Each structure stands twice: as C-alpha cells, then as structure tokens.
Amino acid sequence: MKTKEYWNPYVAGVILGLVLLAAFLVAGNGLGATALPKRTLALATSQVAPEWTAQNTVLKSYVADGASPLRNWLVVEVMGVILGGFLGALSAGRLATKVEKGPNISVRGRLTYAMAGGVIMGFAASLARGCTSGQALSGGAGLGTGSWVFMLMVFGGGYAVAHLVRRQWT
Amino acid sequence: MTSALFPLEFASDDFRLLTGLFIGFGFGFVLERAGFGNARKLAAQFYLNDMTVFKVMFTAILVAMVGLYGLASLGFVDMAMMWVNPTFIPAQAVGGFLLGVGFIMSGLCPGTSVVSMVSGRIDGWVTFVGIFLGIALFTFTVDWVPGLQALYLAGSGEVSLLHEVFGIPALVLALIMVAGAVLAFVGAEKVEAVFQAKTKPVELTPPNRPRLKLAMGGSLAALAIVTLTAGSPGPSTGPVAMTSMAPLVLAEKLIEREPGILILDLRSDPDSERGIPGAVRLGDSEARAEYLRRTPEGTLVVTFDESGRFTEGPAGWPEGLDYRFLAGGWDGWAEDVLTPASAWGNSLAERDRVQRQNQISAFFSGAAVQNFSVAAPPPMMPAGGSGKKPKAGGC
C-alpha cells in the first residue's frame, strides 16, 4: 500500500481545533495525554500502599472519591487516542516497526535520548500539571494565563537545547 | 441552571465517559495524519526546516478559542462551567521549559508519543515508558526533595484568564491573536524556505499552499469579527448592553471585598427572603435609573432576576457604568454558589476547585450573610463599595 501524504498543516490544525472544541462542549474540559500514565500509577500505588497514596501531594486527589482512578474522562480519551492513532497509521500505510532517527546516530543512541527525554517530560508534565495537550493546547484555547506561560516556555526549552542534540536528527 | 447549552449535561456518567473515546479517537487520528507520530517531523520544528508543529498547534488553538468564546458571547456556552487550567506560574514556567528540553531529546511530547507508539515506532514506546518513569519520579520525590513541593504549589492556583489580565474582551484578544498568527504563519513559511535550503525536510510533507492559508486565516478572523459584533456591547443609544457574569466570579469578588461593585436585585417577588449579600432592591424602574445616575462612573453593576432572563438594561440607564447580568439570575446563584460542589474531577486542580466551591457555598449559605439591605431611598454608594460586602468574614 502506498503511504498517504500528511495532511496540510492548516487543515489538520482546523480539524484538531474542532476536536478540541468538541471536547470542551461535550465534556467541559479540553484534551490530555498524561492522565493515563498518572492515573495508572495512582491505581498501582493505591493497591500497594493506600495510605501513602492518600497522603501524596500529586496522587491524593485521584483517589479522594474512592472510585477507581482510571474512571475518568481523560483516561478514556487517551484510550481513544490509542485507537485513533493506530487506525490513522494503519489506514495511511504508516504502520511500521522501526526507529525514527537521523542518519548520523545509532539506534541505541537514539533510544537513549528518547528514554531520557521521556523521563524529563514525565517529570515536567507532573510539575506543570499537564503536558503539551492538557496545558498548551487546551489551556491555550481556554486563554489560561499559566497555560500560555507554559507553552512559551516549551518552545523556549526546545530551542535552547536543540543545537546540543542536533546529531540525533540531522 | 443557566440557559447555556454547553457543556452538555449527561444523564449518566458512563455515557459521558464514552464520549471521551470518540473525541480521543478524533484527536489521535488527526495527530497521526498531521505527521505527529513521527519524531523526526516534530523535532524539525526546532531546527526550523519544518514548522508543522507550530502551524497545526496554533491553528487548532485559535479555532477552538474563537469557537469557545464566540459561542460563549452568543450565550450558547457557559464559560463558568468550563474547566480552564488554573495558574501556577513558577511550576508552569519551570515545567514548560523542562518539557521543551525533553521534547527535543525524544522528538515527541506525551500525546504524540502515544500516536508514535501505536504506529509501531520503537522510539515512541521508549519515550512513553520514559514518561511513565518521569511521572513516577516526580510523584515519589515531590514530598521529600526540598523545595519541590513548594515549587509545585507556588502561585495563586486561581483560574487566571489572559484577556482579563489584559483587560480586554476575550474575542478581541482572540482576534488580535488570529491577526498575529496569520503574520506568524507567513513568517514561518519564509523561515522554512530558508532552512530547507540547508536541511531537507522530512518526507511526505504536503506542498505549500499559500492561498489555503490565507483563506483559513481570513475565515477565522471573519468568524471572530461576526461573533464579536453579535455578542459584545455596541454603542448604546437604546438599551444599555450587558455582558454576563458567572455567579462564582461575583462570589469571589464579594469575598475579596472588591470595591466599586453595585448589585441590583431585580426580582419581582418582594417577599424573597434570600438574596445576594449587599444587593440593592428598588421599587420601580424609575427609582433604579435615578439610583444608577448617582452611582460613580466605572462602577461594576451586576443585576439579577429570578432566572437570568434579564440580559439587557433599559433605555433610561446611564452610560459609563460597567453593566453585567448575573448568568442564570438567582437560580444560577443558588445553584453555583449556594450549592456545595459535587466531587468529580480530573486532577489536583479540579480538586482544588471543588474545595474552593465548598468554601464559597459555606460562606454564602451562612446565616450571617443572609440578611440583605433594602435600600429606599438608597444611600449614595461610594466607589469604595462599602455596604456591598458580606458581613461575615469567611474563608
């Protein structure tokens, strides 16, 4: 199957904006991504150490109401992202087991960077109470002041170190 | 309840949850088709030879922003019911910077790592596992690494909205942003052209179509202008225009003892026992107009009736005052302010909001603030707004 071209960025942006608007209209909040891993962690720790979980600054709100931490709109929404991303890649002929990297870095080097970046992002998204989806995209559309600060800082952080890690991509 | 249609209220929680699956599906599908499952394409944003991230993200933000605030100004959306991220500047600034650093190392952000992962990319899987470990790292260290919890909790934690910070209507700000974005998009295309000469962009990027871009920007701006003129105050020769104020916003102002607020009780039933603390009730429309003429310029005048039908000031009211009607009227106040929150929430911030809601409802439900003045003839209201405050100290 021939691989489909990516959508025009402005068309993709309009459609993404409408999806985001639909989330607000239907559910009263925007989109997110880190809710799934965060709440999975809350579920795990609440099984192992319920008292510690109930005291933890981050996790306590997820277990406060007694229901499963995974019983949450954003968690279901991320499950939808898994399905949508999979079918999107499948129908575009882009489903492939491979590593995306530039020509001048080993697979091992690339995956080391991916792991390190992931850990930093997980830490950062917890600290900021949201990631590029929950803070920048959703909070940005809602005109949240802190979300705009977050968004500008994301670009700032990316451009600040881009030169140092360029070997990965070029 | 207010008369706004959105956000939807669901008969069952299960059905509400199910909508997340469909909306998430759309989110994941669009991210994939935009090329956001590919770490190289995302990383290219930071090397300036492919600005797709910027274009998609800002177009999406502006479409949703204009849609949301446009529908709100037309009365279809109740912004008071919308969850907007509360502001914790230090944590958001530091977290944002770190996330940007992680982004360029992974080439993916949390949402796109999910899409990359399910597209079969091994770097996507590794990034996602890293994100999980990073979340665990923060969660396990937040309570004992010195300063981390303080950083996490620093800031107001209030919902601060950018247009309120700038003191302009949301749609005006959205319009300015659309104009700025159109310029930025034109600039992005130029920057791309320069840097693509040095580094080849990621394959499968569709050809550049400037006309499409202009049409998009134009229609977005047109939409903003239309809703802006439809939903915001115009020059008032006839009835004075009013915009809505959410009950919780008014409640916060009263608790903060913000000066320069006049609350007008317009309910027709004079025997209503309960009211908003400090609200002024006058006999007829002539007395109200007279009272308003003696009110200092710039005073925030909040009116309320039984259910929020009163949304337009009569012709006799003077200009120079900032007129608002309470969204949902007395019913809205009773529901939003006097009723404790039902606890459902996505996050710590949501929990904080629920807690705040409960504080507010306890404050205004207290017997001490239930007696309110019936002013006749009304005393001159000083700009300081004394006499418009709740009598009991709360919170």
Whether A46 has its CB under 8 Å from any CB of chain B: the answer is no
Res. B122 pLDDT band, cuts 50 70 90: very high
B125-134, B314-323, B346-355, range with greatest mean pLDDT: B125-134
Q: Is residue B372 over pLDDT 50?
A: no
Closest by CA to A76, choosing from B220, B226, B15, B375, is: B15
pLDDT in tens, A94-116: 999 999 999 999 999 999 999 99
Q: Are residues B320 and B192 in the same domain?
A: no
Q: Is the pLDDT of residue A65 over 70?
A: yes
* pLDDT of B74 higher than 50: yes
* Residue B19: per-residue pLDDT: 96
Is B7 within the bounds of a domain?
no
Sheet containing B261-265: give its strands across: B243-245, B322-326, B300-304, B261-265, B280-281
Same domain for B184 and B270, yes or no, is no
Residue of B nearest to A89 (CA): B119
Res B377 pLDDT > 90: no
Assess whether B167 and B296 both reside in one domain: no
Domain span at residue B253 reads 240-336
Q: Which 3-state string (H, E, C) describes chain B?
A: CCCCCECCCCCCHHHHHHHHHHHHHHHHHHHHHHCCCCHHHHHHHHHCCCCHHHHHHHHHHHHHHHHHHHHHHCCCECHHHCCCCCECHHHHHHHHHHHHHHHHHHCCCHHHHHHHHHCCEHHHHHHHHHHHHHHHHHHHHCCCCCCHHHHHHCCCCECCEHHHHHCCCHHHHHHHHHHHHHHHHHHHHHHHHHHHCCCCCCCCCCCCCHHHHHHHHHHHHHHHHHHHHHHCCCCCCCCCCCEEECHHHHHHHHHCCCCCEEEEECCCCCCCCCCCCCCEECCCHHHHHHHHHCCCCCCEEEEECCCCCCCCCCCCCCCCCEEEEECCHHHHHHHHHHCCCCCCCCCHHHHHHHHHHHHHHHHHHCHHHCCCCCCCCCCCCCCCCCCCCCCCCCC
For residue A67, what pLDDT is reported? 87
Q: Same structural domain for residues B187 and B308?
A: no
The pLDDT-based confidence of B282 (bands split at 50, 70, 90) is confident
Question: What mean pLDDT value characterizes chain B?
Answer: 81
For the cut 60, the answer to whether the pLDDT of residue B370 exceeds it is: no
- pLDDT over 60 (residue B186): yes
Structural domain contains residue B389? no
Which residue has better confidence, B186 or B285?
B186
Residue B226 and residue B252 in one domain: no
pTM of the full structure: 0.72
Distance from CA of B348 to the nearest CA of A (A): 5
Percentage of chain B exceeding pLDDT 90:
41
For A85, which of B31, B123, B160 is closest by C-beta distance? B31
Q: pLDDT tens across B100-117, in order?
A: 999 999 999 999 999 999
- Average pLDDT of span A2-16: 92
Distance (Å) from the alpha carbon of B195 to chain A's nearest alpha carbon: 12
Whether residue B43 is contained in a domain is answered as: yes
Residue at which a domain ends, from B209, B231, B253: B231
Residues 53-112 of A with CB under 8 A from B: 55-61, 64-65, 71-89, 92, 94-102, 110-111
Q: Residues B297, B202: one domain?
A: no
Domain boundary among B316, B336, B356: B336
CB contacts, 8 Å: B65 with chain A: 140-143
Q: What pLDDT score does B233 carry?
A: 44
Whether omega before B377 lies within 30 degrees of 0, making that bond cis, reads yes
Please give the Cα distance from B128 to B117 (Å, whole number). Answer: 8
| Same-domain check for residues B365 and B218 | no
- Determine contact: B156 vs chain A, CB below 8 A: no
Residues of A in contact with B112 (CB under 8 A): 132
Q: Is B236 on the interface with A (CB under 8 A)?
A: no
Q: With respect to residue B245, please indicate whether it lies within any of the assigned structural domains.
A: yes
Contact (CB<8Å) A144/B209: no
Q: Which residues in chain A have their CB less than 8 angstroms from residue B31's CB?
A: 16, 81, 84-85, 88
Domains identified in chain B, total number: 3
Q: Check whether B124 has a pLDDT greater than 50.
A: yes
User: Per the CB < 8 Å rule, is B133 touching A149?
Assistant: no
Average pLDDT over residues B156-169: 92
Instruction: Choose among A12, A33, A166: nearest Cβ to B110.
Output: A33
Answer whether residue B391 is part of any domain.
no
Q: Which of A10, A115, A149 sits opposite B213 (nearest CB)?
A: A10
pLDDT of B3-21, one tens digit each? 578 888 887 888 999 999 9
Residue A15 has pLDDT above 50, yes or no: yes
Domain CATH number, residue B271: 3.40.250.10
| Statement to judge: residues B151 and B271 lie in one domain | no
Which of B205, B231, B257 is the endpoint of a domain? B231
